[in-house]
Amino acid sequence: MTYSVSSFARFRRQIGNYGMLTLAILLMMLIRPFMEQGGDRGVAVDILFMMVFLAGVYAARKEKYHYWVAILLTSIGLAGRIHLHLTDYWLVPLLVQGSAMLFFLHALYNVMSFVWVQRHRVNHDVIFAAVSAYLLLGIVWAYLYEFHEMAYPGSFKGGHGPMEKDDFFYFSFVTLATVGYGDIVPLTRTGRSLAIVESLTGQLYLTILVARLIGAYVSQYRRQD
């Protein structure tokens, strides 16, 4: 047991704060569709989300203000998810979704602030932060699409029936990467505008920021040699 704890601590130090956040987000995205059974109320789904929330809190721990905001939003989200198992009141799912989106927005702001401050001193933690920011962008847009669908039902059309949460995540990342499979399409002008802005955001982020960070990191590495 002691060996496992020390190994995890060593692994955590190696990949850094934002490496843990990146790993938590990727695990949530990869595992969640296989574990979720019968909607968003599964305990496994709650565990996956809490894993991401805790990784976000851990990443923000050096900034006192961001740290406490992350804890507050995590607490609200956790309380809402617990109530999902206890009540069918319509406001509870909205609270859960809203607090989760605010948490991811806050995490995105925190990560992007770190990347911007450290842009001239690029290391592996900055690279992981940039990757996690890209993943957070996709998650935040997924929530925006979902809220848009809640406000205006029928704004998005899929080939398999009504849109579900995983569909919005899928559509968001497909749009962010500008893959454009066309199996899910926005039907309203607002939905199309959101998709356009997200696709532009994804391309500009990769071609300008991430490419520059990778170039700076390689350049620093060569100078060290």
Quick: pLDDT tens for 25-80. Answer: 888 888 877 765 544 446 677 777 788 888 888 887 777 888 888 888 888 877 77
Sign for the pseudo-dihedral over CA of 31, 35, 41, 45: negative
Q: Give the span between the Cα atoms of 36 and 198, in whole angstroms.
A: 27
Q: Give the span between the Cα atoms of 115 and 18, in whole angstroms.
A: 10
The CATH number given to whatever domain includes residue 205 is 1.10.287.70
Confidence category of residue 198, pLDDT binned at 50, 70, 90? very high
- Containing structural domain, residue 163: 2-224
pLDDT greater than 80 at residue 83: no
Tell me how far CA of residue 27 lies from CA of 22, 69, 220, in angstroms.
9, 24, 31
Q: What is the token pair recorded at 122?
A: 């690029």
Report DSSP state, residue 210.
Answer: I
pLDDT greater than 50 at residue 188: yes
Give the residue from 68, 53, 59, 172 showing the smallest Cα distance to 113. Answer: 59
Q: What is the token pair recorded at 119?
A: 């842009």
Residues facing 185 on adjacent strands? 157
How many structural domains compose the chain? Answer: 1
pLDDT greater than 60 at residue 124: yes
Q: Give the span between the Cα atoms of 149 and 204, in whole angstroms.
A: 26
Of 5-19, 113-127, 178-192, which has the strongest mean pLDDT? 178-192
